[in-house]
A and B are shown apart, each in its own frame.
Chain A
Amino acid sequence: MAGSTFLDSSELVLNMGPQHPSTHGVLRVILKLDGEKVIGTECVIGYLHRGVEKIGENRTYVQFAPYVDRMDYVAAVSNGLGYCLAVEKLLSVEAPPRAQVTRVILTELNRIASHLLWLGTHALDIGAITPLFYTLREREEVLKIFEKYCGARLTTHAFRIGGLQYELYDGFEEDVAKFCDMFLPKVDEYEELLTDNRIWVERLKGVGILTAEQCKAYGVTGPVLRAAGVAWDLRKAQPYSGYEQYDFDIPIRQNGDTFDRYIVRMEEMRQSVRIIRQALERIEPGPIMAKVPKVIKPPVGEVYVSIEAPKGELGYFIVSDGSTQPYRVRVRPPSFVNLQALDQMCRGALVADVVAIIGTIDIVLGEVDR
């Protein structure tokens, strides 16, 4: 503790985390406080560092695929999609239409699952316990579909380079359609619980504002950017995996505060359902795997491929030296870059708001630290 005299306004340093329930993992934030006000933050990260990029250099292209699931473990399918697209780009192959549609359905389901987990834990941080139970209940339905499709719930390893390993199981379409029908009213239910709730509104409105300019300067992407009024979504800007064929809107809000990010994510879940419903109609028979050599040896070269993960732009920069192992795999994690703006968002906020702000960026420490 700095400062000892009464009414001394010198700063107080408070250590939050790494073992703190509201830091969503092992994030440590050193807060510099002036009374109740935050005048500066410093993030200490790396507690979950596993050297994923180094592992990538020491595994073959096929073998590395399960590891990427373990970065953003609540959106493993998105990670897998990004990696597969990057290697496919290196190989200049494209997944067949049936595989692409399935990929879209699964990634959108995963986006819903990720947003649901975010909503539940974010609400829990703010003090609303009930939504957590409801969101986890609905998320369970998504995970059941994953389990039936590929045999795992979280670290799915659902996609392979060139397409899919698993054919859709019997009743997949019905399961997904049933989930969509069941899920939309549930989103309204969450909104009923939260959107008008005065504690929720008081805690979130005007907290952690990040303007569009600041977002761009910090490289912040995803719902945080969209809540600041920038209608930018990679699915629209640079479509991949056939996203250009789907009709959906990019939800945006103007204020760029925590409340707007909440609204944007709620709307995104509805849009995801819209995409899934369109995708279900597009499933057609056909092969699920493109012609990919058994031993994957991309030609010498480097590519950067990025997708819109639930948290923002997830990019893979892969350098190939023509061997079976990537020469370098760089992951551009959305959480890592978004977390950088925490300092900007926390300046001038109260200590209690820091919890709300950390929650609203939607970080997953597995992805921040890799």
Chain B
Amino acid sequence: MRKLIRTVLLVDLLRGLWVTLRNQHPKHIYTEQYPAQRPKVAERFRGAPRLNINPDTGETLCIGCNLCALACPENLIVVGTERDPKTNRKVLTTFTYDTSRCMFCGLCEDACPVDALELTQDFELASYTREGQIWDRQMLEEGPRPTQYKS
């Protein structure tokens, strides 16, 4: 009998609708207005790779040890070095990073002994060509410059 009354009065339906109604309140809005409003990603976010340079001297921190290239599961890092005849140290010449194959696992970053290679908070990596996904040393040092939209 109680069940019949509940059925006739649509109690289950009304309870469900009440839940929906409660969630209509503007404070429950979760939508992010990207790209007008840029989301703030976490500090540890693994995004666009960057090759850090010493801010004082402008020299690269990379020592050309090739550990990142060895750590990479996809073999997408190619480190080019040459030997400085005076100091006999290895000097970085080229550095390419194929972001199209990268899965941002962070193993290269973990392998780097001098914190030169870093995955940063930049997340806009789109480019118009496949070749544009292969980043050279200059691109890695400067970082991507995505278009910024204003609301």
Sample of 11 A–B contacts (CB below 8 Å): A63-B73, A130-B20, A134-B23, A149-B44, A151-B44, A151-B46, A152-B45, A157-B105, A165-B106, A169-B43, A192-B19
Chain A residues near B13: list those with CB within 8 A: 197-198
Task: Let me know if B107 is at the binding interface, CB within 8 A.
Answer: yes
Question: Taking the nearest CB of chain B, how far is it from the CB of A187, in angstroms?
Answer: 12
Task: Let me know if B139 is at the binding interface, CB within 8 A.
Answer: no
Task: Let me know if B12 is at the binding interface, CB within 8 A.
Answer: yes
New contact pairs (8) apart from A193-B16, A196-B11, CB-CB < 8 Å:
A62-B107, A64-B73, A66-B107, A67-B73, A134-B23, A151-B46, A197-B13, A198-B7
Given known contacts A66-B105, A147-B45, is B12 in contact with A197 (CB within 8 Å)?
Answer: yes
Given known contacts A63-B107, A64-B73, A157-B106, is B42 in contact with A147 (CB within 8 Å)?
Answer: yes
A137 vs B104: C-alpha distance when bound (angstroms): 25
A 135-174 binary contact with B (CB < 8 Å = 1; else 0): 0010010001001111110010100000001100100000
Task: Let me know if A59 is at the binding interface, CB within 8 A.
Answer: yes
Which A residues between 34 and 93 are near B, CB-CB below 8 angstroms? 59, 62-67, 70
Instruction: Considering the complex, give the chain A residue whose CB is closest to the CB of B73.
Output: A63
A149 vs B43: C-alpha distance when bound (angstroms): 9
Work out how many contacts link A and B, with CB atoms closer than 8 A: 68
From the candidates B16, B44, B103, B110, name the one contacting A148 in the complex (CB within 8 A): B44
Task: Let me know if A189 is at the binding interface, CB within 8 A.
Answer: yes
Task: Let me know if B30 is at the binding interface, CB within 8 A.
Answer: yes
Chain B residues near A189: list those with CB within 8 A: 19
Task: Let me know if B79 is at the binding interface, CB within 8 A.
Answer: no
Chain B residues near A152: list those with CB within 8 A: 45-46, 104, 106
Task: Let me know if B78 is at the binding interface, CB within 8 A.
Answer: no
Chain A residues near B43: list those with CB within 8 A: 148, 169
Interface residues of B (CB under 8 A from A): 7, 11-13, 15-16, 19-20, 23, 28, 30, 41-46, 71-73, 103-107, 110, 119
Most buried by A among B20, B46, B72, B105: B105
Question: Taking the nearest CB of chain B, how far is it from the CB of A152, in angstroms?
Answer: 6
From the candidates A59, A149, A166, A192, name the one contacting B15 in the complex (CB within 8 A): A192
Q: Are B41 and A196 in contact (CB under 8 A)?
A: no
Chain A residues near B71: list those with CB within 8 A: 62-63
Q: Are A148 and B19 in contact (CB under 8 A)?
A: no
A149 vs B30: C-alpha distance when bound (angstroms): 21
Most buried by A among B20, B43, B44: B44
Instruction: Considering the complex, give the chain A residue whose CB is closest to the CB of B12.
Output: A196
Q: Are B42 and A193 in contact (CB under 8 A)?
A: no
From the candidates B16, B106, B110, name the one contacting A197 in the complex (CB within 8 A): B16
Q: Are B12 and A151 in contact (CB under 8 A)?
A: no
Q: Are A66 and B12 in contact (CB under 8 A)?
A: no
Instruction: Considering the complex, give the chain A residue whose CB is closest to the CB of B6.
Output: A196
Chain B residues near A151: list those with CB within 8 A: 42, 44-46, 106, 119
Chain A residues near B20: list those with CB within 8 A: 130, 193
Q: Nearest 4 pairs between A and B by C-beta?
A: A66-B105, A63-B73, A151-B44, A151-B46
Instruction: Considering the complex, give the chain A residue whose CB is closest to the CB of B30.
Output: A137
Question: Taking the nearest CB of chain B, how far is it from the CB of A258, in angstroms?
Answer: 18
Which A residues between 267 and 283 are near B, CB-CB below 8 angstroms? none
Given known contacts A134-B23, A137-B30, is B46 in contact with A196 (CB within 8 Å)?
Answer: no
Chain A residues near B104: list those with CB within 8 A: 152, 155
A 356-370 binary contact with B (CB < 8 Å = 1; else 0): 000000000000000
Q: Are A165 and B73 in contact (CB under 8 A)?
A: no
Instruction: Considering the complex, give the chain B residue whose CB is closest to the CB of A196.
Output: B12
Instruction: Considering the complex, give the chain A residue whose CB is closest to the CB of B46.
Output: A151
Given known contacts A64-B73, A147-B41, is B19 in contact with A155 (CB within 8 Å)?
Answer: no
Given known contacts A148-B42, A148-B44, is B30 in contact with A192 (CB within 8 Å)?
Answer: no
Question: Taking the nearest CB of chain A, how far is it from the CB of B89, in angstroms?
Answer: 24
